[in-house]
Amino acid sequence: MILFRCDYAEGAHPEILRRLTETNFEQLDGYGCDPYCESAKRKILAACACPEGEVHFLVGGTQTNATVIAALLRDYEGAVAVETGHIGVHEAGAVEYTGHKVLTLPQHLGKMNAGELEAYLAAMDADVNKDHMVWPGLVYISLSTEYGTIYSRAELAEIQATAHKYGIPLFIDGARLGYALASPACDYTLADLKDLCDVFYIGGTKVGALCGEAVVFPHGAPKHFFTTIKQHGALLAKGRLLGIQFDTLFTDNLYGRIAANAIERAQEMIAVLKSKGIPFFLESPTNQQFVILENGYMDRLAQEVGFDIWQPYDATHTVVRFATSWATTPEMIEQLRELL
C-alpha cells in the first residue's frame, strides 16, 4: 500500500528530528521565549524581507485561521472567503465558533475573483440595509488553494487593492504556501508576500514539520496577540517544538528545497497519469492533482494506492486527489505507474 492521500502522511524531515534530538536536554524557557524561537523568527523575517515584522508560531492550520481571524475582526465583522475556502467547509465551524460569519463568494478553480470581490464590497457599501448585516472585515484566501491552484502576482495585487479600497486587510492561509511558491507557475517569492497581503502564514505541518504554522505580520501583530493565542488554546508550553522546527526549515532554505521536491514529483505524477489516459478534473501547478476515475476502477485501485475521494463527478465517476509532498520519492511515483 502506497499513500498519495495527502501531504501529511509521513512524520518530519529527518533534519528536524535530528535537531530536536540534539537539543533535547537543553533547558529552555517555555511558551516560545527560547533562543530557537527567536532565531527562527529572525530567519523567517529575513526570508520574508520584512525585518520589522512579527512572527508567531501556532500548532495547526484550523487553529491558526480561527486565531488570526478573531484577532483581526471586531465582533460585527466577518471573513470573506470563496465557497470552497477551508475555513467555511472543513474546519468544523471554528471561525463561527468564535462569533464570526464566513461570507462566501463563488470560487473559480478554488480561487477568488477580484472583480467579484469588488462587486460584493460595492454592493454591501451601497446596501440601504447594511447596518443590519455582517460587515466584511477581512478577505481570506488560501495559497495554494484547496484545488491546488495558485494566484498570480497580478491576481493577488488586485485582490489586495480591492480589499484595501474598502479598508479591510487580506489574509493568506498558507498551510500549503511552500508548494505554491515552489511551483514553476508562481511569479513571486516569499519575500514578495509582505507587499501582496497584510498577514499570512507559512505552513509547516504540510511541508515537512511534525506540526506548526508560522504567522507573519509584516507590519506588526494585533495588540496582545500572545494572549489571544493563549486564549485560543494555541500556545505550546514547549514552544521549542515549534522554534526548533522552523529554525531548521529556514536554515539553508530547507523549506524551499523540500517544497520543490513535491513539485518535481507532482510533475512526474502528472506525466504518469496522463500516460495512462486518466482525465484531469482541473489543471493544478502544485502538489495536489485532481483526476476523474471510473468508480469500479477506483475501488480496485484503492486496494493498493491511497488517494483522497474528493467529490462525485457523475453517476459512474468520482473526482479523487493524489498529493505529493516533501517526502515523496521518484520510486513512489514509479510504483504508482506500475499500479495504475
Beta bridge partners of residue 108, listed in sequence order: 111
Q: Which residue in the set 42, 54, 63, 166 belongs to the binding site for a second copy (CB under 8 A)?
A: 63
Q: Binding residue for a second copy (CB under 8 A) from 206, 285, 291, 318? A: 206
| Helix, strand and coil percent figures for the chain, each rounded to 5 | 40, 20, 40
Q: Return the range that interacts with a second copy (CB under 8 A); candidates 22-30, 143-151, 153-161, 270-278.
A: 22-30
75 binds a second copy (CB under 8 A): yes
Helices (H), the chain: 14-22, 35-47, 61-72, 86-89, 94-97, 114-126, 153-165, 177-181, 193-196, 225-231, 240-249, 254-275, 295-301, 330-339
Residue 188 Cβ vs a second copy, minimum distance, rounded to whole Å: 26
Place of cell 460585527: 76
Of positions 51, 167, 237, 314, contacts a second copy by CB under 8 A:
237
Question: Does residue 49 bind a second copy (CB under 8 A)?
Answer: no
Q: How many CA atoms lie within 13 A of 260 on its CB side?
A: 6
Which stretch in 60-68, 186-194, 249-257, 286-294 sits in contact with a second copy by CB under 8 A? 60-68
Q: Which of residues 128-187 bind a second copy (CB under 8 A)?
A: 128-129, 131-135
Among 40, 48, 55, 71, binds a second copy (CB under 8 A): 71
Which of residues 152, 189, 227, 275 is near a second copy by CB under 8 A? 227
Among 194, 232, 265, 321, the residue binding a second copy under the rule CB under 8 A is: 232
> Whose Cβ is closer to a second copy: residue 30's or residue 220's?
30
Angle 68-244-177 from CA coordinates, rounded to 5°: 45
Contacting range for a second copy; rule: CB under 8 A; set: 48-56, 123-131, 182-190, 260-268: 123-131
- Yes or no: say if 140 and 69 are a contact pair by the CB < 8 Å rule: yes
Shortest distance (Å) from residue 175 CB to a second copy: 9
Beta bridge partners of 69: none
Instruction: Count Cβ neighbours within 10 Å for each residue of 11-27 and write b for 16 or more, e otherwise.
Output: ebbebbeebbeebeeee
Tell me if 74 contacts a second copy by CB under 8 A. Answer: yes
| Interface with a second copy: number of residues (CB under 8 A) | 81
Shorter beta-carbon distance to a second copy: residue 44 or 69: 69
Query: Closer to a second copy at the Cβ: 99 or 184?
Result: 99
Residue 277 CB, shortest distance to a second copy, in Å, is: 26
82 or 134: whose CB is closer to a second copy?
134
Phi, psi of 73 (to 5 degrees): -95, 150
Q: Which residues contact 145 (CB under 8 A, 6 or more apart)?
A: 84, 107, 109, 110, 111
Q: Does 52 bind a second copy (CB under 8 A)?
A: no
Q: In the complex, what is the shortest distance from the CB of residue 290 to a second copy, in angstroms, rounded to a whole number?
A: 15
Query: Can you read off the three cell numbers belonging to residue 329?
Result: 520519492
Q: Which of 37, 80, 102, 186 binds a second copy (CB under 8 A)?
A: 102
Q: Are 299 and 322 in contact (CB under 8 A)?
A: no
Decide if residue 316 touches a second copy (CB under 8 A). Answer: no
Is the Cα torsion angle 214, 285, 93, 210 positive or negative in sign?
negative
